[in-house]
Amino acid sequence: MFGVARRESSPCTSPSPDIACHWRESGTAIIDARGDLTQPSPVQSLYLTCDRALRQGATRLQLDLGKVQAADTKLIACLVAVLRLARRRHRGVTMNNSDAIQAWLGLCHVETICGQVRVKRTTMANFAPETSNECLR
The structural architecture, per CATH, of the domain 11-134 is 2-Layer Sandwich (3.30)
User: Is 0.85 topped by the overall pTM?
Assistant: no
Q: Provide CB contacts within 8 A for 98, sequence distance 6+.
A: 65, 66, 67, 68, 69, 71, 121
What are the boundaries of each domain within the chain? Answer: 11-134
pLDDT at 53 over 60: yes
pLDDT per position as a tens digit, 3-42: 444 444 455 766 677 899 999 989 999 999 999 999 999 9
Which class for 27: exposed (0-12), middle (13-18), buried (19 or more C-beta within 10 A)? middle
Residue 52's SS3 state is helix
